[in-house]
Structure 1
Amino acid sequence: MLLGASDQDTVDQVLRVTVYRNLFESSTQRMPHCRCGYCHVVNNYYKNWSYYAIGARVHARVLSELNVFEAGSHLEVTPWYNQFNSDLTPTIVSSKDLFLKGATFHEFMKYGTLSATQDDYPAYKVPTVATNSLASLVSNCSGVLFGSKLDDCLASQ
C-alpha cells in the first residue's frame, strides 16, 4: 500500500488518507508507506510482518492510532536504517497502539506531534474500538461479509 506517487511529486502534499480496520498478516512491508501528505492509520491489526509495517518519507505525516502490532520474526514496526541514507524528514507518531511479543515502534518527530483532529482532518472522526478487542473485530469483519461471517461481525460491534 504505497501512498504517494514518487518522491518528486509535490502534488501529493495534499494527500489525506485513512487506513482503517484492516488485518495485515504475514505481509512484507508498506502497510502503508506514505510519501508527502497525511496518513491516519487507525484500528488495524498487524501480525508477523517481514521487513516493516508502517513507513514514510518525503515530509509525510503518519499518525498510528489504536492499532495492534503482534511481532513475529521482526520486532520493529517502523525501521529506519541510516546506512542506506534514509530520509529522516517524515513524522511518524504512535498513539494508544498495543505492542505484543516484543514489537517496538520508532517515532520520528521531525515536525512535532500529530492528532487526527488537527488541520489535516477538520471535524474528522472514525468509530474506533479499544485495542483489547481489535483482533477479534478485525478477524470477524475483514473481507467479504455474508452469512455467518456477517452475523459474527455485527455481534462483535
Structure 2
Amino acid sequence: MLLGHDDGFLRDKGMKGYAHVTNNLYQGWEQYAIGGSMSPSIKSESNYFIAPKSGKKEVTWRNGIYEKSKPWNFYSVGDLFTNGASFFQSGRRGTARPNYTKEQSFKVGDAKSVKALTSSAGALKCSRTLRC
C-alpha cells in the first residue's frame, strides 16, 4: 500500500497528511507493506503482517528526504507481526489523529481477527460460468 507517488510527482504535492490503515492482512510483500511520500502521517492499527520467508521483513518504507520541518509520523497500534515482520516507527506517537465526524468513525477489530475478516476479500475468481 503506497500512500503518495513520490516527492517530485506534482499531483502528490496536495496530499495533506493523514492515513489510518486498519484491519488489513499483509503477506509476502517484496519491498514493503506500507509506504509513503510527501511526509505523511500514517497510523497502522490492528493490521496483521506476515513477513515473507526471505527478503525484506520491514513493513514500512519512506520515499523522499526526511525534513525536520515535516516529520514522518508512522506509528503502529495493536498490529500483529509474525515471521520476523517489523515496523519502524518514526515521529511522535499519537500525533497523527483522524478528524472523523461521528458518521465517519468506525470500530476497529482486533488484529487476531483479521484473517477471518479478510477471508473473502480480494479479486473475484472468474470462470466461464461466472462472469465478472
Do Structure 1 and Structure 2 share a fold, with TM-score over 0.5? yes
State how far apart, in whole Å, the 1-side matches of 2:38 and 2:80 are.
27
Match of 2:73 in 1: 91
State how far apart, in whole Å, the 2-side matches of 1:104 and 1:2 are.
17
Between 1 and 2, higher relative CO (CA 8 Å, sep ≥ 6) is seen in 2
Structure showing the higher helix proportion among its residues: 1
Cα 1:56–1:2 change in 2 (3 A) is closer
Percentage of identical aligned residues: 33
- State the aligned residue count: 115
Match of 1:113 in 2: 94
Kindly state the Cα deviation for residue 53 of structure 1 after the two structures are TM-superposed: 0.9
| Residues 27-77 of structure 1, C-alpha deviations (whole Å, 9 max, x = no match) | xxxxxxxxxx21111100001111111112322111100000001122110
State how far apart, in whole Å, the 2-side matches of 1:86 and 1:5 are.
10
Contact 2:41–2:96 under 8 Å retained in 1: no
Give the TM-score taking structure 1 as reference length. Answer: 0.61
Answer yes or no: is 1:125 the counterpart of 2:105.
yes
Match of 2:85 in 1: 103
Match of 1:60 in 2: 40
Match of 1:7 in 2: 7
| Residues 3-48 of structure 1, C-alpha deviations (whole Å, 9 max, x = no match) | 44552543222xxxxxxxxxxxxxxxxxxxxxxx211111000011
State how far apart, in whole Å, the 2-side matches of 1:144 and 1:128 are.
25
Give the TM-score taking structure 2 as reference length. Answer: 0.70
Q: Map 1:12-91; keep pairs closer than 5 Å.
A: 12-13=15-16, 37-72=17-52, 73=54, 74-79=56-61, 86-88=64-66, 89-91=71-73
Paired residue type of 1:41: V
Match of 2:119 in 1: 139
Contact 1:42–1:67 under 8 Å retained in 2: yes
Structure 2 unpaired stretches of 5+: 126-132
Structure 1 unpaired stretches of 5+: 14-36, 146-157
